[in-house]
């Protein structure tokens, strides 16, 4: 007999939170708003109830969360080098095994925006630096 523990609603929320973070903090570093709109159109990293059922055990949910966190960490690193490529691809494969559409290749990020263009570019997907309370 084997005992498995079901994933929790908190883990589902964490996956959704990481996807939102990826869209608002990571993608604007490498892609234009038009590109990101296309990603939304094609449901990149979007999860459905059926996909959540694919990682219904505690271990599976942790694998998805860890894969997203690893990819985010790699892409946010200041010195994005080729040595991260195998780790990136391993975690992208894990996401696809669970039915999460992640069509990116490492070189798409490695060859991202030049540094100066990143400084001057403001994306509508980025979180606001401040907010006004009325």
Share of the chain above pLDDT 90, in %: 50
Q: Which residues of 2-24 are buried (b: 16+ CB within 10 A; e: fewer)?
A: eeeeebeeebbebbeebbebbbe
23 vs 45: CA distance, rounded Å: 9
Question: Could you tell me the residue ranges of all domains in the chain?
Answer: 9-120
Summarised one tens digit per residue, pLDDT across range 61-106 is 899 999 999 999 999 987 888 999 999 999 999 999 988 999 999 9
Summarised one tens digit per residue, pLDDT across range 3-12 is 556 667 788 8
């Amino acid at each position: 007999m084997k005992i498995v523990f079901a994933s929790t609603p908190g883990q589902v929320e964490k996956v959704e939170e990481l996807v939102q973070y990826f869209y608002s903090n990571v993608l604007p570093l490498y892609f234009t708003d038009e590109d990101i709109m296309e990603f939304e159109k094609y449901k990149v990293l979007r999860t459905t109830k059926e996909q959540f059922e694919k990682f219904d055990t505690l271990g599976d949910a942790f694998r998805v969360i860890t894969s997203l966190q690893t990819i985010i960490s790699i892409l946010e690193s200041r010195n994005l080098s080729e040595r991260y490529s195998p780790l990136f691809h391993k975690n992208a494969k894990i996401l696809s095994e669970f039915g999460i559409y992640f069509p990116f290749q490492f070189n798409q990020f490695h060859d991202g925006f030049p540094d100066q263009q990143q400084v001057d570019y403001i994306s509508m997907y980025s979180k606001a630096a401040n907010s006004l309370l009325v």
